[in-house]
Structure 1
Amino acid sequence: MSPADPARVTAHPSSGSRSRTPNRELRALLEESEWTQAAFARALARLGAEVGIHLRYDRTSVAHWLRGSRPDPRVRYLMAEALSRRLGRRITVADLGMNGTRGGRTGAAARPRGGWGSPRTESEPEDDDASDSDAHRRQPGAGRAHSADSSETGHARDPLPHREFGTPSHPADQLTALTAPVVPPPRADAPPPAPYTLRLLAETVRPSGGGQSAEGERPGGGRVPGGRRAEGAPTPAPLPGARNTCTARGSRPVSSPGPGEVASVHEHARFFALQADRHGGGHIRTSLAAYLSGLVRTLRRGEEGVHHRGMQAGAARLSYLLARVYADEHRHGLAQRAFLTAAELAEEAADPEGVALARRALSSQAHQLGHPRASLALAEAALAAAPADTDPSARAFLYAGLAVADAACGARDRALDALGRAERQLARAPVDLTTGPESPSGEPVGTYQGAALLYQSSQVRAALGDREGAIRDLRASLHSRPAQERRTRALCQAELAELLLSRGRLEEACATWRDFLEVSAHVRSGRVVAARSRIPGLLRPYARESRVRSLLVAASPPAGGQPGG
């Protein structure tokens, strides 16, 4: 994914470079990692891609840092995350030797013009909502902080969350922080997006005391690793600088929520889930975040009781949906923390099924970002958390996620076994075409239907090398999906077209892409835009074909506008 103006690093130090002190801490870490300077730059590029930013650093950029230059504070957190993954232990920004006042003013360099909160592709519309970059520009001195090697004369406020596990933090405060980037009016203290952090997932799958139901057995008869139910979801790091403005305004006491308030929260969750599937997350992001932010005061100060737990469970579903929206926009750091907050809210609501669903979502996100081992551990932890009375369709959802994770790890037999379990569980679910978000009593998260299972089956078969089987299942999934689920249909069509092209079936691929372009015109989704942007590169070898030339013209953004808006 590339922003409209990819970031570049200036290769020349500024006139103040002679006063810099070499960064021995960073050099020692690079030597320990056994990375070359070029390899480190490539690792940063991969991490930037995980949060939707195209960083174009190279070995000369790293050489400047080793001589004392310092990149934008946000890049430093990506550097710490890259080294943490490489060395297998937590590396902080302080460990990089970049938090002090060492060094003078340095040269201008790489900050994506799209802003760290606006990971846009060349064909993605620019939102009217307040972005993280807008908030950053309103901070004191922000005009001088845009360059990646900007001058810093003190300890700046940490722009990214890295709180250690176990530090008390109310999940309501986390919701305030997670919604701050998009809730109007623009917030001067809205946090920039966090990097996707593997370390945050470790606590989710850590085994602890407690039993496990037979339904949580590992496919193939084995127990989930650890033999015990994983401890509750980790407390996600709170995003700094966010104020709980909902509790700061007014002094009216918060009354205990009643059944009406609980029903309203769940109805809103169904509405937002339905809109996301039909039209994409871009249409609901601001309204969903605003509604969720409005629940903070009740969640924080409401009295304990069955209705308060109902509010927490509803807020967990809404946080889950917000995470889906963020992930769809490639804001994976924020999405990860929103999923973790959903798990924590479900834990407080005594809703183990909600915890399981959040872990399943974290597994899917890790799979999407290319972390198969983390994805598998999370999929297993999701099944471990699911109670014995979990609805069959939700349990099918969990087993399907496990099948995809197993397939990505090359475990063919286990993947097919888990897929079979998902099919058997779904066969046990009541046959009701109005389940899910479209039903007044349906569950907005975790309700699973045949079309979704066929899509997951296609992912399993593609990972195992059975592309023809994947094509067959994707076509069956599309045939089963309602026409109004435009976003989901568009993503399936894009994947189908790419699979067909990989099998040399150019004519079928072009026809499928035409269907995709027709549907995607009604959708506002970062993933759909990314799928559209891949078309020219994939079809370039066939550009002499007349059908390809006409498709490339259709796939080009219209003059004066952007697709998907």
Structure 2
Amino acid sequence: MTNAAFEGLLLAAGYGNAHAAFARQLNHAGRNEGAWRYDAASVYWWLRGRRPGDHVQAAMAETLARKLGRSVAVTELGFGTPDSIGMCVYPASVDGAIDTAEQIWTRLARHLNQQASGVFDSGKALEAALGWRYDLSDEAVSRNGRQQVTSTDVQSLYALAAHFTDLDRRHGSGSPRTRVVMADFLVRQVAPMLHGTYTDAVGRDLMRAAATLSGQLAFMSYDASEHAMAQHHATFGLRLAKAADDRLYGAHLLANLATQAVFLGHAREAARLVEAAIDGAGRAPAAVLARLHATAATAYGQSGERRACQRALAKAERALGRAGTDPGPRWVDYFSPAHLAGAALRCLGDLRMYRQALRHAPEALTLGSQNTRTRALHTALVATTHARAGDTDAACDWSRKLAQHCLDVESARVQQRLRELAIALSSQQSVPQVNEVLHSLAAMPAARKSGSAATHFG
């Protein structure tokens, strides 16, 4: 859909076929904000629904007013309010990524008690994958802005990202408060840094740190079932990783989008996303490849592609075996044999290869104490796999172990696993022990926190 109001103003001002000229004048009008690099592609995306930041809109109005010989109100541009954010589009430029990410962060920070609306758009995710994989690299990301940014400033961002990652793994992201605190930090601290003054080297490290924070916020939003918001954060993180020239973290974010797509049942799109991630990662460290191939296996398993699933699992196992001597970046340290075993349990179960799947159950539960949410997810998966295999006694035994793992976890994904377990057991609900387990599942904190979950239990 074209922004007709903005298009009409461009035509009236003589910029209808001169988008590059308009972008140059806009960059000049906004020179006090820093070194803007908007171009014809930026104008194209604004016409297609992307909303520029408020300061960019003010410069747009100033630029058009000079050409038209009259004042132009920002409201005439047709971009709406900050809360009316449009489609999740992979930004063509770094400036576009910074502006739009700032809007999304602001929206989340202001909506403490409101769940974000919208759905995951697999088509837009695939477009983002293509843009990340094939767009040219950014020649320079240095900027002259309002505040000086140093390497020390950037390092503090990595420390904060690690803190939020630990909180997420221990407690889940069902409560909006952690996400809002993180978004508020991004708005108040990270956005001004991105608009600041930095060299190309510091700028690329800053983009990497901002991508890491945005990627973590994306995963937290996904865990809270805010899928459109999660896709927004991941897409902007992907563009920032591109600006940082960090293909490995970009591949990681694409794999996270694939994981989200699997959760939502978009198996074929998930496979394409992770294939693009593997292709883009190139000769990556073994630990990164293990994580990517494990994600591919879950996508193939859900789509029923047995051979492709088993090949991906074998590649992941071989890669993880080499990870001791080829460890990779710090952010992939979390991916352990237990995480690979959980992926194998999931995808082989999807293929109804229950006996083979359950061989991975013991290792899937060999997790560190910090992986509280993963332990709950894997325990529920083991119980569900036993139920689907027809071993009701074992399913009930594992279900009883779930309560201790769900006490301090708020996670929509854990809630979904509990629903899947209840559905798998429901055909045997006339059996006393199954009926007892179904009632205990419904009473679990993770189930009570989801209004829809209770309707499936009992």
Fold shared per TM-score above 0.5:
yes
Partner of 1:298: 193
Q: Are the structure 2 counterparts of residues 520 and 231 from structure 1 closer, same or farther at C-alpha, using a change threshold of 3 Å?
A: same
Question: 1:180 is paired with a residue of what secondary structure?
Answer: helix
Structure 2 residue 220 is matched with structure 1 residue 325 = yes
Q: Deviation at 1:558?
A: 7.5
**What is the letter of the counterpart of residue 302 of structure 2?**
A
Separation (CA, whole Å) in 2 of partners of 1:555 and 1:365:
25
Q: Give the unaligned 5+ runs of structure 1.
A: 1-92, 95-153, 209-228, 234-251, 437-441
**What is the letter of the counterpart of residue 407 of structure 1?**
G
Structure 2 residue 313 is matched with structure 1 residue 419 = yes
Separation (CA, whole Å) in 2 of partners of 1:425 and 1:173:
38
Q: Deviation at 1:286?
A: 2.4
Structure 2 residue 127 is matched with structure 1 residue 203 = yes
Q: Deviation at 1:184?
A: 4.9
Partner of 1:455: 342
Q: Are the structure 2 counterparts of residues 451 and 167 from structure 1 closer, same or farther at C-alpha, using a change threshold of 3 Å?
A: closer
Q: Deviation at 1:285?
A: 1.9
2:384–2:420 Cα contact (<8 Å) kept: no
Structure 2 residue 146 is matched with structure 1 residue 253 = yes
Percent identity, aligned pairs only, is 24
Separation (CA, whole Å) in 2 of partners of 1:160 and 1:540:
41
**What is the letter of the counterpart of residue 183 of structure 1?**
A
2:406–2:444 Cα contact (<8 Å) kept: no
Write the mapping of 1:4-23 to structure 2, written as runs, cut at 5 A.
none
Partner of 1:360: 255
Q: Deviation at 1:160?
A: 4.8
Partner of 1:236: none
Structure 2 residue 371 is matched with structure 1 residue 485 = yes
Structure 2 residue 104 is matched with structure 1 residue 178 = yes
Question: 1:483 is paired with a residue of what secondary structure?
Answer: coil
Partner of 2:363: 476
Instruction: Provide, for residues 186-244 of structure 1, a one-character-per-residue CA deviation record: whole Å limited to 9, x for no partner.
Output: 69xx9953322123123234389xxxxxxxxxxxxxxxxxxxx54479xxxxxxxxxxx
**What is the letter of the counterpart of residue 321 of structure 2?**
A
Separation (CA, whole Å) in 2 of partners of 1:328 and 1:163:
19
2:146–2:197 Cα contact (<8 Å) kept: no
TM (norm. structure 2) is: 0.70
**What is the letter of the counterpart of residue 346 of structure 2?**
Q
Q: Are the structure 2 counterparts of residues 297 and 369 from structure 1 closer, same or farther at C-alpha, using a change threshold of 3 Å?
A: same
Q: Are the structure 2 counterparts of residues 416 and 303 from structure 1 closer, same or farther at C-alpha, using a change threshold of 3 Å?
A: same
1:312–1:345 Cα contact (<8 Å) kept: yes
- Which residue of 290, 303, 321 maps to 1:396? 290
Write the mapping of 1:58-457 to structure 2, written as runs, cut at 5 A.
159-162=84-87, 170-184=96-110, 192-206=116-130, 230-231=134-135, 253-256=146-149, 258-282=150-174, 284-293=178-187, 294-388=189-283, 390-430=284-324, 443-445=330-332, 447-457=334-344
Q: Deviation at 1:334?
A: 1.1
Q: Are the structure 2 counterparts of residues 517 and 165 from structure 1 closer, same or farther at C-alpha, using a change threshold of 3 Å?
A: closer
CA RMSD, Structure 1 to Structure 2 (Å) = 3.4
1:160–1:193 Cα contact (<8 Å) kept: no
2:88–2:124 Cα contact (<8 Å) kept: no
Separation (CA, whole Å) in 2 of partners of 1:513 and 1:346:
41
Q: Deviation at 1:412?
A: 2.6
Separation (CA, whole Å) in 1 of partners of 2:402 and 2:291:
26
Separation (CA, whole Å) in 2 of partners of 1:185 and 1:162:
19
Separation (CA, whole Å) in 1 of partners of 2:220 and 2:242:
22
Partner of 1:514: 400
Partner of 1:101: none
- Which residue of 409, 412, 426 maps to 1:523? 409
Q: Deviation at 1:529?
A: 2.5
Q: Are the structure 2 counterparts of residues 539 and 408 from structure 1 closer, same or farther at C-alpha, using a change threshold of 3 Å?
A: closer
**What is the letter of the counterpart of residue 264 of structure 1?**
S
Q: Deviation at 1:185?
A: 7.7
Question: 2:330 is paired with a residue of what secondary structure?
Answer: coil
Q: Deviation at 1:175?
A: 2.6
Q: Are the structure 2 counterparts of residues 232 and 457 from structure 1 closer, same or farther at C-alpha, using a change threshold of 3 Å?
A: farther
1:159–1:192 Cα contact (<8 Å) kept: no
Which one has a larger percent helix, Structure 1 or Structure 2?
2
**What is the letter of the counterpart of residue 122 of structure 2?**
L
Q: Deviation at 1:535?
A: 5.0
Separation (CA, whole Å) in 2 of partners of 1:339 and 1:503:
36
Separation (CA, whole Å) in 1 of partners of 2:415 and 2:304:
30
Separation (CA, whole Å) in 1 of partners of 2:130 and 2:370:
40
Q: Are the structure 2 counterparts of residues 427 and 533 from structure 1 closer, same or farther at C-alpha, using a change threshold of 3 Å?
A: closer
Separation (CA, whole Å) in 1 of partners of 2:165 and 2:88:
30
Q: Deviation at 1:353?
A: 0.9
Q: Are the structure 2 counterparts of residues 372 and 504 from structure 1 closer, same or farther at C-alpha, using a change threshold of 3 Å?
A: same
Q: Are the structure 2 counterparts of residues 408 and 306 from structure 1 closer, same or farther at C-alpha, using a change threshold of 3 Å?
A: same
Q: Deviation at 1:482?
A: 1.6
Question: 1:170 is paired with a residue of what secondary structure?
Answer: helix
Q: Deviation at 1:509?
A: 0.9
Q: Are the structure 2 counterparts of residues 371 and 530 from structure 1 closer, same or farther at C-alpha, using a change threshold of 3 Å?
A: closer
Separation (CA, whole Å) in 2 of partners of 1:319 and 1:357:
13
**What is the letter of the counterpart of residue 220 of structure 2?**
V
Q: Give the unaligned 5+ runs of structure 2.
A: 1-47, 50-77, 138-144, 451-458
Q: Deviation at 1:163?
A: 6.7
